[in-house]
Amino acid sequence: MKSIRVSAAACLAIAFLASGCERRHVRWYELPPGTIEVPVDSATAARNAIREPGVLGTVETIPVVGWAGPDGQPFEVARRSAALEGGHARVFGTITLPVSLRAGAADLSQYPCTACHQGRKLVMEDQRIKDAHQNIHVVHPKQTGAHCATCHSADDVQQLALRSGEHSTLDESYRLCAQCHFEKVEAWAAGAHGKRLDGWQGRRVVMACPDCHDPHAPGLQPRVPFRAPQLERTKGLHP
Amino acid sequence: MSSDPTPETPETTEDGSLLQKPVDRRGALGLLLGGVATGVAAASACSPLSAATPEERELKRLEWEEFTQKHYRRMTEAERAETIARLERLAKLRHNEEATIATTDAQPGVLFGYAFNISKCKGYRRCVEACINENNLDRRSDTQYIRIFEMENGVVDLSDADPTYQHEVPAEGHFYLGTQCFQCADPPCVPVCPVGATWQEPDGIVVVDYNWCVGCRACMAACPYWARRFNWDEPEVPAEEVNPNQHYLGNRDRHKGCVEKCTFCIHRTRQGRLPACVEACPTGARVFGNLLDPNSEIRWILAHKPVFRLKEELATEPRFWYFAD
């Protein structure tokens, strides 16, 4: 494991030297001007717009695929026990409600990851990684010591690593979350947890886990509520 | 529309007289009252009606037609169309609104149900904000259909709960429970109405014909959930904030002296959309769907989650369940 880390770091250092050595005033993780841009196209703008209530617009979706089931339906939530390392998945629940997922990875501020991670490799415990991702304060998952590779694939930085050895795209992050939060994901797939988009009729489009929960700090912050009602209420007479 | 029993309304004469209008039994009363009003106006005001602008004369004529309007459920299709055209024109004349008023009927095989997750609601009141904007609620009296109660953990007693909290939420040791019209299966507000101005639609939504309502407020007294609101004064909504997507039984213009209530956003939900409160909720604590569809989210919740309803002992059978997870 150590050798992998070292070689990956070397890889990145070479990439850094190759791209940034003659431009000393540019910090290494700042992109050379004009080379790589993450365009905010109309499709991305439309996806962003659905975060505003009342402006649902067009929702780009990907079908939710249960990894234990064939081609999506029925959706199955599998529980993988840590004790069963590489062992069989136990199907926790089966949900027959068809569901589509809001595809939101492209909304990420530093997406695509390959814009910086030219080598596509993830370098762990490197100060430069921390510098480049200062907005990320990892508090979750606490139990594992919050190691990047707990969730991110070391081989492909834009993929998530599942305990089974499989990879998952960032849009299908529910597969990763379900490894521990299987009950929540079951409720989410059935409609009792999370937010539904579009209408009550027709296709079911739901928001994915990271649309509400920052994966690195999933708790929600307190907010100031909308104003209180001005009408007086006769206490005791009304509910 | 081809079997239109009501003849086309002709143009009124230049002085606003209605005498050119063909008369039926209903119209006769309107004409009579209109005539009286014209007489009174002519006698009391120095300037006769003919001196008013065409818009003012049109407004006067339409207001008298509105005054003598039929009950919504007894209108023929042609009368409905005529009423809608009149109300849309009145909205334009009175408030300069470009409203579109729908009369969409209930979809067959649909019965609306609502579930509210008390473990997920954080008391942000985004639903309240969306409801005010969506349903054109009176800004002056600050009418709100939804109330969010801040409740102490371990107690489901709304008499001690606080709906007027104004601090950062969620507060430690508290949970939040929202109330609105529960669209009860046996709504106590409906049979008490002396004029039949409120009734339950086939999809379960309890609605009010604002024009037929006499403002006696008996329904408000009958409702055990304080779901209805009365317009003590002429409701006011700034023209630029008016939601033009309206329904006759929902968010169209109300007037002083009528009762109104939550209709599960009838203008949206009958088109397959979600109520504004559900769409606005950032936590996904609100779930809405068709109770008759076994594959709906709401049916899954009723089958898999511990649910309860408020004041179940009254047997009003609310179609609004609270659940926790």
Q: Which residues in A30-40 are b (16+ Cβ under 10 Å) and which e?
A: eeeeeeeeeee
State whether residue A225 sits within 8 Å of chain B by CB: yes
Interface of B with A in 167-226 (CB under 8 A): 167-170, 179, 224-226
Cα→Cα distances B58→B17, B31, B63, B239, B291, Å: 10, 14, 8, 21, 45
State whether residue A49 sits within 8 Å of chain B by CB: no
Secondary element (H or E) of residue B206:
strand B206-208
Contact A212, A220 (CB under 8 A): yes
Across the interface, whether the CB atoms of A191 and B166 are under 8 A apart is answered no
State whether residue A127 sits within 8 Å of chain B by CB: no
State whether residue B273 sits within 8 Å of chain A by CB: yes
Rounded-to-integer distance, Cα B122 and Cα B168, Å: 10
Secondary element (H or E) of residue A197:
strand A196-197
pLDDT at B50: 57
Interface of B with A in 284-313 (CB under 8 A): 284, 287-290, 295-298, 300-301, 304-305, 310-311
Confidence label for A98 from pLDDT (cuts 50, 70 and 90): low
Residue A6 has pLDDT above 90, yes or no: no
pLDDT at A207: 80
Residue B27 main-chain phi, psi, to 5 deg: -65, -25
Query: Shortest Cα distance from B251 to chain A (angstroms)?
Result: 16
Q: Which residues pair with A76 in a beta bridge?
A: A94
Residue B91 main-chain phi, psi, to 5 deg: -60, -35
Q: Collapsing DSSP states into helix, strand and coil, what is residue A127?
A: helix
pLDDT at A145: 64
Single pTM value for the model = 0.76
| Per CATH, domain B106-325 is 1.20.1070.10 | no
As given in the structure block, the two tokens for residue A67 are 């990894």
Rounded-to-integer distance, Cα B182 and Cα B147, Å: 12
Taking Cα atoms as reference points, which of A111, A100, A105 lies closest to residue A194?
Answer: A100
Chain B residue whose CA is closest to A227:
B166
Query: Shortest Cα distance from A51 to chain B (angstroms)?
Result: 9
- B48: left (phi > 0), else alpha (psi -120 to 50), else beta? beta
Mean pLDDT for the stretch of residues A31-42: 40
Cα→Cα distances A132→A6, A129, B204, B224, Å: 19, 5, 55, 57
Confidence label for A118 from pLDDT (cuts 50, 70 and 90): low
Residues 6+ away with beta carbon under 8 Å from B244: B97, B98, B99, B100
pLDDT at A56: 31
Cα→Cα distances A86→A81, A83, A147, B31, B281, Å: 9, 9, 20, 85, 39
Q: Where are the domains of chain B?
A: 25-98, 106-325
pLDDT at A212: 83
Taking Cα atoms as reference points, which of B46, B58, B44, B45 lies closest to residue B15?
Answer: B58
Alpha-helix runs per DSSP H in chain A: 2-20, 42-49, 127-132, 148-151, 174-177, 182-190, 209-212
pLDDT at A128: 67
Neighbour tally for B304: CB within 10 Å: 16
Secondary element (H or E) of residue B290:
strand B286-290
Q: Which residue has the higher pLDDT, A19 or A201?
A: A201
Across the interface, whether the CB atoms of A95 and B278 are under 8 A apart is answered no
DSSP letters spanning B73-97 = GG--HHHHHHHHHHHHHHHHHHH--
- Segments in chain B below pLDDT 50: 1-19, 21, 35-48
Query: Shortest Cα distance from B118 to chain A (angstroms)?
Result: 12
Cα→Cα distances B315→A188, A239, B87, Å: 31, 15, 38
What single DSSP character describes residue A152? B
ipTM score: 0.77
Across the interface, whether the CB atoms of B144 and A229 are under 8 A apart is answered yes
pLDDT at A122: 66
